[in-house]
Amino acid sequence: MVIHRPEVALDTSRMGQDVVVVKNGRRLCGTGGAIANAPIVQNKAYFEVKVQTQGSQRVNLNKVPLGCDSDSWILEHSGEIKHDKKSLGQIKTSIEEGDVIGFAYDHELFRIFINGQEQEPAVRISTRTTVFPVFYVDDGAILDIQFGTFYYPPPEGGYDHGKEVWTNDIQRQVVPFDHKTTIAEFCYADRSVIQKAIDSALKNRIKWNMLPVEQRANIFLKAADLASTSWRQDLIATTMLGQGKTVFQAEIDAACELIDFWRFNVQFLADALKYKPISTTDSDNTYSYRGLEGFVAAITPFNFTAIGGHLASAPAMMGNTLLWKPSDTAVLSSYIVYQILQEAGLPPGIINFVPANGQIFGKTITKSPDLAAISFTGSSATFKTLWRWVSENLDIYRSFPRLIGECGGKNFHLIHPSADSATIVYATIRASFEYSGQKCSACSRVYLPRSLASSFFDDMKNIVNNELKISSPLEFDTFSSAVIDNKSFDRIKAYIDYAKASSSSKIIAGGLCDNHNGYYVHPTIIETTNPNDKLMQEEIFGPVVTVYVYDDKKFDDIVDLVDQTSPYGLTGSIFCQDKTILKKTKERLFHSMGNLYLNDKSTGSVVNQQPFGGSRLSGTNDKAGGPHFILRWASPISIKNMKKPLDTFKHVSMENPS
Q: Which amino acids are annotated catalytic?
A: 406
Kindly list the distances between the CA atom of residue 21 and the CA atoms of 44, 51, 385, in Å, as whole numbers in the listed order: 19, 10, 61
> Which residues lie below 8 Å from residue 156, measured CB to CB, with a gap of 6+?
none
From residue 518, give the alpha-carbon distance in Å to each of 237, 246, 621: 18, 15, 35
Neighbours of 477 (CB within 10 A): 7
> Helix count (H) and strand count (E) of the chain?
16, 33
Distances (CA, A) of 201 to 157, 187, 228, 632, 657: 15, 20, 29, 19, 59
Residue type at position 151 = Y
DSSP letters spanning 472-491: -TTSTT-SB---S-HHHHHH
Q: Write out the H or E segment, with its range, that includes residue 104.
A: strand 100-106
123-124 and 371-377 strand pairing: unpaired
CB 113 within 8 A of CB 123: no
Question: Which ranges constitute the DSSP H helices of 41-155?
Answer: none
* Gap between the Cα atoms of 314 and 428, Å rounded: 32
Q: Give CA angle at 589 (584, 594), nearest 5°.
A: 130
- Angle in degrees, CA 320, 37, 633, rounded to 5: 20
Helix, strand, or coil (residue 408): coil
Distance CA 282, CA 215 (A): 33
CA 590-596-602 angle, to 5 degrees, is 140
Can you list the alpha helix ranges (DSSP code H) found in 229-349?
Answer: 232-243, 247-250, 258-272, 305-317, 331-343
Backbone angles phi, psi at 566, to 5 degrees: -115, 150
| Number of Cβ within a 10 Å radius of residue 149 | 17
- Residues 554 and 485: their CA atoms lie apart, in Å, by 41
- The conformation of residue 401, written as its DSSP 8-state character, comes to P
CA torsion sign for 428, 430, 435, 436 is positive
The β-bridge relationship of strands 19-22 and 27-31 is antiparallel
Cβ-based neighbour number of residue 280 at 10 Å: 10
Q: Is the peptide bond before 657 cis (omega within 30 degrees of 0)?
A: no
* Count of Cβ atoms closer than 10 Å to residue 112 Cβ: 21
What letter represents residue 427's amino acid? A
- Give 519's DSSP letter: -
624/630 Cα distance (integer angstroms): 8
Side-chain-facing half-sphere of 563: CA atoms under 13 Å: 14
Whether the CA torsion 317, 321, 322, 324 is positive or negative: it is positive
